[in-house]
Chains A and B, each alone.
Chain A
Amino acid sequence: MTLPHASDSAVGENRARLRARALLPLAGMAIVLALVFFALDWVGTDYAYLAAYTVLQYVVLATAWNILGGYAGYVNFASAAFFAVGVYTSVIVYKTVKLPLIATMPLAAVAAGLLGLGVGYLTLRLRGTFFSIATLALSVVMSTLVVNWAYVGGSRGVYVLRPQTIDFFGPYTRYLCIVMLIMAILSIVIARAVERSWFGRGLAALKDDEIAAECAGVPSLRLKLAATALSGALMGAAGAPFPFFVTYVDPATAFGLSIAVNTIAMPLIGGTSTWIGPVIGAVLLGSLQQIATVTISSALNLLIVGVLMVIFITLAPNGIVGLVQKIRERRA
């Protein structure tokens, strides 16, 4: 069968237009982020950089979690463990070879990715709930490991000295903030690429019905393993700058409850079906918490996040994105 040449080029043109439209939100976001960054420079205090760093870190974590949790429907409760693998890889590098942060982050990503691969290999062949339960226990076991490992500080923790300034970037806090900004953009680009590729469609298919997907030729175990490793690696990379951010790391902060809860709450509140959901959730909840920690206690703060999450999954299971879509549909 042959098609007329003209319509072929029209299809190509159409596709190009579609692609341009698809890139629009990404470009918009980049502009917004750049503006935020200029605003930070204008404020210029350490606190502003550190607050922005925390929010951006949650953007990375929530986006990473969503690759497995949102696209494939496999709930990973061990985000704190993957994050902590990155944190402690960074601590080990700091205590041995002292590589620059940029070189440490890929190492942290590899370490956390391997952890995801290992746990996934043992549990992903079974029902999804077993994977979730294993990840719940994983955080406990990883913190047990660290507590018993004197070299990385054990339960007493370890101090990490950060330089006051760094060449070209100015204050080190500003540098950390830039690193996390790049990391956030990178993870969003990755999540978006996954979502729109055969990889993401395969994950979506096995989320709907794993047996049907398997029958249709989707290599479900391999896709799940790849998604777990990718998601874990991004979380690990997000953990690598953390020791320099807090300058004192102990298991209680590295395996903190706030990371475990926020990483799940943010995508669920924002909406899990697209890449924008976790970003919205992370920016919204992250900034709210930055404001709230100043005024109320951090425990109460986390309680609010937990309650919000339960309310959202009960009443608005598709998150903020789902709510917006519903309102739009009603108008149309």
Chain B
Amino acid sequence: MLNWDLLSNALVSGVLLGGFYCAVAVGITIAFGMLDIVNIAHPAFIMMGAFIAYFFNTSYGVDPLLACVIAAPFAYIGGRLMYRLYYLAFERHGEESLQGLAFFFGLLFIIEVGLLLIFGVDYRFVEARYIGPGIEIGFVSIPWRMLIGLIVGLAMVGGVALFNAKTFTGRAILAVSQDPGALRLVGGDPVHVKEIAFGISIATAIIAGALLIIIQPVEPSIGRDFIGRVFAICVLGGMTSLPGTVIAAMLLGIAEALTTTYLGPSWAPAVSFGILLLTLGVRPSGILGR
């Protein structure tokens, strides 16, 4: 016997969760999909964003989202510097596969343990007026905090898509993703373009961190749960495609919400891995892949 009440609530919360996953994964679609930089430390930067929001919220009463929007330009600069280092140390020698992976793994680890040493293992949360209440439409309830995740997540993907379509740099990023050699031939500098794009990628991670701590309490090690998610979304969405990212994020959100509703929340982390393995095994090019 299907319970419509339960099912519709699960579907709605899945779409809301998917919106948040858009914010989480858009940076990986840029870094991994377009630039071919396997930044497995991406979730760690999300956690960094969450704790930036936490710090400014509890110490100065700043709105968590605002705190991270202000922090985003600094993250952009940090991301550019990080790409410089990555390029000089690994990519230039063509050694990005093994050493580059280990480099980002090390970063992931350093950030996680660093956060652990500073903030401890307790769950931390932020305070804002929109955390708590929600709107009820019939028997479906929509919490404000999830709605904000959806709106900001979609806005971030839309912003990146607009930037890529309208600006010169944006089109250069697309060119790098298709053929860096050809970009060099027409007088562009792939390294410079990748540097800018990687900066943007890290900035999105910081903002996604604010959304994360608005949605749920966080502790440093939950970042690891997002590694499977971001890459599952990126691969399922077809690597470079932004619309694909949105569709894949929604699918994962719905799949996780259904799993949580019918099997229990403790099974949810396994969903993304299942999707990732299935995609890699059956259709590695993803839904909207070429």
Q: Which residues of A contact B (CB under 8 A)?
A: 69, 73, 75, 77, 119, 122-123, 126, 128-130, 132-134, 136-141, 144-145, 147-148, 155, 257, 261, 264-265, 268, 272, 299-300, 302-303, 306-307, 309-310, 313-314, 317
Contact = CB atoms under 8 A, between A and B. Distances in A.
Given A302-B109, A303-B110, A313-B102, A73 B97 contact: yes
A309 B280 contact: no
B38 A129 contact: yes
Judged by DSSP, the binding face of B is helix
A140 B273 contact: yes
Contacts of A303: 110, 113-114, 117
Interface string B113-142: 110110000000000000000000000000
Contacts of B270: 140-141, 144-145
B89 interface: yes
Given A75-B105, A257-B221, A268-B102, 18 more contacts: A73-B98, A75-B97, A77-B105, A123-B280, A129-B101, A133-B227, A133-B231, A136-B227, A139-B224, A140-B228, A140-B269, A144-B267, A144-B269, A144-B270, A148-B266, A299-B117, A306-B110, A310-B110
6 contacts: A134-B280, A137-B232, A300-B113, A302-B113, A307-B106, A309-B102
Contacts of B264: 148
B58 interface: no
B6 interface: no
A129 B97 contact: yes
Nearest to A147: B266
Interface in B73-100: 85, 89, 95, 97-99
B40 interface: yes
Given A134-B280, A140-B269, A306 B113 contact: yes
Contacts of A145: 270
Interface in B236-279: 264, 266-267, 269-270, 272-274, 276-277
A139 B227 CA distance: 11
Contacts of A126: 280, 284
B62 interface: no
A136 B231 CA distance: 10
Nearest to A148: B266
A309 B41 CA distance: 15
Find the residue from A257, A268, A309, A310 having the highest chain B CB count within 10 A. A310
Nearest to A154: B266
A77 B106 CA distance: 11
